[in-house]
């Protein structure tokens, strides 16, 4: 029986593990944090993603815990609304003609709970990948604590600083923009202070552009 190791329990790793488990494949998920991270990372799910997640039965709970946003705006910081985009025009092309504001940690926990009863799925927190070696029959993953795991395949979904990618000598292609970005989360009710503000707004400004994203409990900038 194939045994797939998945490094990283973010949305990509948990969705990959869910697909494999549903196909009857043995999976071990390795997450370096002591528990699934609950920090505020991505919070927007687009229509095709929601359609894809339907297969796992988690979308109703995501909607219950999130915020449906059928429209989003582009705004000028001084002049206000420049354009409003209505995702309702996609109603014949998707089951979810809207963006859903729901923190990614909610999804990863839902998928973990769904996998908990599957005997072919093992979840290890505090499992930091240190090194990877492979041969014609499989792959060995050495963890920071000295433990070595053997699998048929390894999925590296451990982020921008991927230990899997580094061990395999795979470069991280692309470029780093020489800018400093600040991310804030606040309970301040921007939707009350700005009457025509959509739940998702991209604010244009020559010097200080920013994005406003509303979730069920917070605004994010």
Q: Is residue 49 domain-resident?
A: no
Task: Note the pLDDT tens digit of each residue in 145-190.
Answer: 999 999 999 999 998 889 899 988 888 888 888 888 888 999 999 9
SS3 label, residue 10:
coil
Identify whether residues 86 and 117 lie together within a single domain: no
Which of 132, 148, 168 delimits the end of a domain? 168
Question: Tens digits of per-residue pLDDT, 28-48?
Answer: 999 999 888 877 788 899 999
Residue 124 lies in a domain: yes
- Closest CA relative to residue 133, chosen from 5, 10, 17: 5
107 shares a domain with 164? yes
The label of the residue with tokens 């504001």 reads 101
Residues 191 and 146 in one domain: no
Backbone angles phi, psi at 196, to 5 degrees: -100, 20
- 9 within some domain: yes
Mean pLDDT of the chain: 94
Q: Tell if the pTM clears 0.85, that is, is over it.
A: yes
Instruction: For residue 128, give the DSSP letter.
Output: -
Question: Is residue 150, in this structure, part of any structural domain at all?
Answer: yes
Is the pLDDT at 62 greater than 90, yes or no? yes
* Residue pointed to by tokens 């499989």: 138
Task: Quote the pLDDT of residue 57.
Answer: 97
Domain that holds residue 117: 3-43+103-168
Q: Are residues 153 and 197 in the same domain?
A: no
- Our count of domains for the chain comes to 2
Domain boundary among 146, 168, 190: 168
Provide the percentage of residues in the chain whose pLDDT is more than 90.
81
CATH code of residue 150: 3.50.50.60
Residues 109 and 142 in one domain: yes
pLDDT at 174: 83
Burial of 63 by CB count in 10 Å (0-12 exposed, 13-18 middle, 19+ buried)?
Answer: middle
187 plus 135 within the same structural domain: no
């Amino acid at each position: 029986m194939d045994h797939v190791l998945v490094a990283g329990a973010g949305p990509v790793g948990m969705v990959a593990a869910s697909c494999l488990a549903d196909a009857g494949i043995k999976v071990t998920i390795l997450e370096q944090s002591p528990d699934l991270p609950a920090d505020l990372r991505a919070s927007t799910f687009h229509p095709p993603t929601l359609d894809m997640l339907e297969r796992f039965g988690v979308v109703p709970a995501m909607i219950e815990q999130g915020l449906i946003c059928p429209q989003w705006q582009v705004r000028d910081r001084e002049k206000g609304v420049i354009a409003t985009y209505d995702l309702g025009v996609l109603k014949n092309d998707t089951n979810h003609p809207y963006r859903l504001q729901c923190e990614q940690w909610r999804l990863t926990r839902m998928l973990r709970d769904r996998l908990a009863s599957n005997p072919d799925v093992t979840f290890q927190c505090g499992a930091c990948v240190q090194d990877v070696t492979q041969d014609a029959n499989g792959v060995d993953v050495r963890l920071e604590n000295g433990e070595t795991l053997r699998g048929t395949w390894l999925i590296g979904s451990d982020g921008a600083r991927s230990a899997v990618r580094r061990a395999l000598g795979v470069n991280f292609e692309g470029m780093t923009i020489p800018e400093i970005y600040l991310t804030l989360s606040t309970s301040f009710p921007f939707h009350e202070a700005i009457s025509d503000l959509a739940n998702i707004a991209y604010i244009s400004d020559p010097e200080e552009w920013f994005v406003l994203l509303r979730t069920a409990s917070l605004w994010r900038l």
